[in-house]
Amino acid sequence: MSRRKIIAGNWKMNQTPSEAVELVKTLAPLVQNPDVDVVYCVPAIDIIPVREAIKGSNVRLGAENVHFEDKGAFTGEISPKMLKDAGVEYVIIGHSERRQYFGETDQTVNKKLLKLIEYGFRPIVCCGETLEQREAGITMDWINMQIKIAFSGVSAQQAKDVVIAYEPIWAIGTGKTATTGQAEEICGGIRRTIAGLYGEATAEAIRIQYGGSMNAANCKELLSQANIDGGLIGGASLKPDFGTIVHYQKA
Ligand code: 13P
């Protein structure tokens, strides 16, 4: 089965609303590739201006986080209902920066995943190990746990439309990319975990991205691996390099 590639930018806490619109304009001619899904996951305040700026293009709109309740007394949070009303399609959950700085846990990722499915979003669920965990040889055990908890209560039919992003924490924003072999090994391992949970058909259908210092120079090799179905890109998503990644076949 051939899975459609998904190249998503995670803008993180960069780009004011006006800078966001400028960036969309700069990237517009560079990111037209009908063969891949292109997504911009943007800060909440940029969602509306970016929605307007990408109108009529192939780019899909994404958010970087969501709360797991529909509404209520959660000062400063953004609900799934708000994102839906604003036209968001994809939502990143469980990013390692949210886990590290904002108390995100596998349990809250699970609550968020169930909520996103209920609302009909396309979730991007992040997982990944620290350098200590890699050196201790427990990478796959750790990721298995993250995936199993995140997907608890999710059916096979629902799971196949979820995107999983494997992001080794030591490779994020460090310029230190996992080797192609390391990235492929873990993405293949995640697919086997999904096969164990849901069977081969779901494992074949689900898309698994690699993230962590993916750039114009290393994208082609990473994206040519059998189990890597796309990239979740931080730093390079804010530059014309993102266009090169979208056209990785020619990179
Ligand atoms: P960098 O591409 O900047 O390493 O960030 C990766 C990432 O965290 C994407 O979610």
Q: Are 31 and 242 in contact (CB under 8 A)?
A: yes
**Structure token digits, residue 175:** 């310029």
Ligand 1 touching residue 100 (CB < 6 A): no
List the one residue out of 113, 119, 242 whose CA is nearest residue 165: 113
Contacts for 24 with CB less than 8 Å, ≥ 6 apart: 40, 50, 53, 54, 59
The single-letter DSSP state of residue 249 is: G
- For every residue of 97-135, DSSP letters joined together read HHHHHH---HHHHHHHHHHHHHHT-EEEEEE---HHHHH
Ligand 1 touching residue 173 (CB < 6 A): yes
pLDDT band at 127 (very low <50, low <70, confident <90, very high): very high
pTM here is: 0.98
d(CA 219, CA 231): 8
44-64 mean pLDDT = 98
pLDDT band at 2 (very low <50, low <70, confident <90, very high): confident
91-114 mean pLDDT = 98
Q: Are 24 and 53 in contact (CB under 8 A)?
A: yes
Kindly give the number of the ligand 1 atom that is closest to the alpha carbon of 12.
Answer: 10
**pLDDT at 98 > cutoff 90:** yes
Report the length, in residues, of the chain: 251
Ligand 1 mutation pick, 12, 90, 218, 242, max ligand atoms within 8 A of CB: 12
* Residue 1: predicted pLDDT: 61
- Tens of pLDDT, residues 189-230: 999 999 999 999 999 999 999 999 999 999 999 999 999 999
Which H or E element spans position 207?
strand 207-211
Ligand 1 touching residue 212 (CB < 6 A): yes
**pLDDT at 168 > cutoff 90:** yes
* Residue 229: predicted pLDDT: 98
**pLDDT at 93 > cutoff 70:** yes
d(CA 37, CA 26): 18
List 93's β-bridge partners, or say none.
125
Percentage of the chain beyond pLDDT 90 is 96
CA of 97 to the centre of ligand 1 (A): 10
pLDDT band at 152 (very low <50, low <70, confident <90, very high): very high
pLDDT band at 175 (very low <50, low <70, confident <90, very high): confident
pLDDT band at 176 (very low <50, low <70, confident <90, very high): confident
Contacts for 116 with CB less than 8 Å, ≥ 6 apart: 66, 80, 91, 93, 122, 123
Kindly give the number of the ligand 1 atom that is closest to the alpha carbon of 172.
Answer: 4
List the one residue out of 41, 38, 44, 36 whose CA is nearest residue 16: 44
Kindly give the number of the ligand 1 atom that is closest to the alpha carbon of 171.
Answer: 4
Ligand 1 touching residue 240 (CB < 6 A): no
